[in-house]
Structure 1
């Protein structure tokens, strides 16, 4: 199991069915690792959508009416990977990532298992909720930026394309994901609250289908 010494930097059951893209250039990534990133994100988005995600006080985050299921994007991965290869634990300028969102994670272990590092990173980002509180009125504010900024990006309703990287650096393992379109808009709602979709029409987006089992909407 990956030994963690995790420092987290913030930006402004496994669920299957959404297959990670097989990108033209592996760039040190594998389809197995890509799939872990996709499945882990969708596992947690489904947990929130079904009203099963708890904060440190035992309160549940509100259910999500139209939470989108994430899929993998090779263009986003290439952008994230180019930054990760610099082995600097800080966010890239937003202009260098097309204004996409970005979550970062690092471990002191080097040369470890990339699949385990991928899982540990997403777990860490989502675990912010368990260490803090459900956002007031389900909105993103400056007050929660440094406490919940990774969690909110993981479950931001409209951020349904991800691309990620795991890079072995000389003094750390650096993990990052970028999100298209970006989340964490100040004063904006993290996701639409309500009972999860039961029909495709409930998703209220063109061509979307409802996965009732996951409580997620799948964009075309």
Structure 2
């Protein structure tokens, strides 16, 4: 077997000779790989039976993809030990979900691995939540509140915990992760979507939703700036740093300890589902972190 690193302007892929077959494993920036991961998840989420009233449309998160890639490099068929360490792996999620798959190189595609997880549906009874074998991969795929996904695949000479050699180890991480209970609420499709979401293929969709809500500014914001945000209707694009920005985000305390000015905590009314972030510049509607408490307003 030989291994070569193929580099293009857009992606880096691991190209291997497996017997007489060339196999290419995509990098986490490969656009086709990303689309395959997201499309496969949303297909199964949109087709649940019974129907889901609150199933969120899933989009790609590059931070989750890097988490998956870092753990996959261990080539150990086991879950990341830091998944439930508060904000350890991701600034926006206190805990993450994770699905893992291992197989031979010719067997691998993102869609086939995700389909294998979904096939656990035959062991799961939705209304009783009874599982007769392994169901956790399926319930994570269709967990209504998980709206971010990031996946990675790694070539492994040996995948510890299996008898697979020269194989592919595929991981997807989810934010927020699943917990005990029913994966979604039964009801008419999109009937319980967050306010202002659109119904796209039976899923609650808001494509403006940010992957990572970090705080960006080129100037110090005074306390008065923060207190005036309730009255301010001017905003600016978060992707630019030419304006002063205030962003609502539940970043953990250790992030705020790095700021040079004190954090100002202000009351945010329930249900913590929708708000308009106040920025200084051009008007732009922002979204909060779904199902995560809005803990504080801060700036630096």
Does the pair score TM above 0.5?
A: yes
Deviations 1:8-33 (A, max 9, x none): xxxxxxxxxxxxxxx99988231111
Contact 2:53–2:193, Cα closer than 8 Å, also in 1: no
Counterpart-to-counterpart distance in 1, 2:145 and 2:137:
15
Deviation at 1:39, TM superposition (A): 0.4
Counterpart-to-counterpart distance in 1, 2:152 and 2:137:
16
Deviation at 1:117, TM superposition (A): 2.2
Deviation at 1:194, TM superposition (A): 0.5
Partner of 2:77: 89
- Asked whether 1:104 is paired with 2:64, we answer no
Cα RMSD between the aligned structures?
2.4
Show structure 1 runs of 5+ residues with no match.
1-22, 52-61
Deviation at 1:81, TM superposition (A): 0.6
Choose the corresponding residue for 1:169, options 136, 156, 162: 156
Question: Which is higher, the Rg of structure 1 or of structure 2?
Answer: 2
Choose the corresponding residue for 1:194, options 187, 193, 201: 187
Q: TM-score if structure 1 supplies the norm length? A: 0.69
Deviations 1:58-101 (A, max 9, x none): xxxx2111211100000111111100111111101123545200
Partner of 2:125: 134
Deviation at 1:102, TM superposition (A): 0.2
Partner of 1:31: 31
Partner of 1:147: 134
Counterpart-to-counterpart distance in 1, 2:124 and 2:39:
24
Q: Higher strand share goes to which structure? A: 2
Show structure 2 runs of 5+ residues with no match.
1-9, 14-25, 158-164, 210-300
Q: TM-score if structure 2 supplies the norm length? A: 0.52
How many residues of Structure 1 are paired with residues of Structure 2 in the alignment?
169
Contact 2:59–2:149, Cα closer than 8 Å, also in 1: yes
Deviation at 1:145, TM superposition (A): 9.0
Q: Tell me the SS of whatever aligns to 2:27.
A: coil
Contact 2:193–2:204, Cα closer than 8 Å, also in 1: no
